[in-house]
Amino acid sequence: MDSETIACGDSLSDRERQVLGLLAEGYTYQSIARRMQISPHTVDTYLRRIRGKTGVRSRAHLLRLAIALDDSTRLLGAEWTTRRVETDLVGSSR
């Protein structure tokens, strides 16, 4: 993975990083969609945007990008999703 592709990864939105992180953790499109409470089509849209921004074409390269980005910054994976849901639940009970 070249440094230019990794640099392009810095332009990803929080949601795109979250999808990429969950994909790297082994979640399927369907399970990512359930976890993020979005449709599988939206997951696919996020991944297409990631591919467009980075030039990455295959799922294997997406995983390599996720690992490279995770080494330099923390991706927003399942841990972030859980904290967000817990925060939303606490916030809604007030």
Specify the pTM. Answer: 0.67
Q: What residue spans of 1-94 are helical by DSSP H?
A: 3-9, 14-24, 29-36, 40-54, 59-72, 78-92
Q: Residue 45 belongs to what domain range?
A: 3-92
CB atoms within 10 A of CB 67: 12
30, 57 contact by CB (below 8 A): no
**pLDDT of the chain, 94 residues: tens digit per residue:** 455 444 455 688 989 989 998 998 889 999 999 999 999 999 999 999 999 998 888 888 888 888 887 766 555 554 544 444 444 444 444 4
For residue 31, what pLDDT is reported?
Answer: 96
CATH of the domain at 70: 1.10.10.10
Structurally, the chain folds into a number of domains equal to 1
What whole-number distance in Å separates Cα of residue 19 and Cα of residue 47?
A: 7
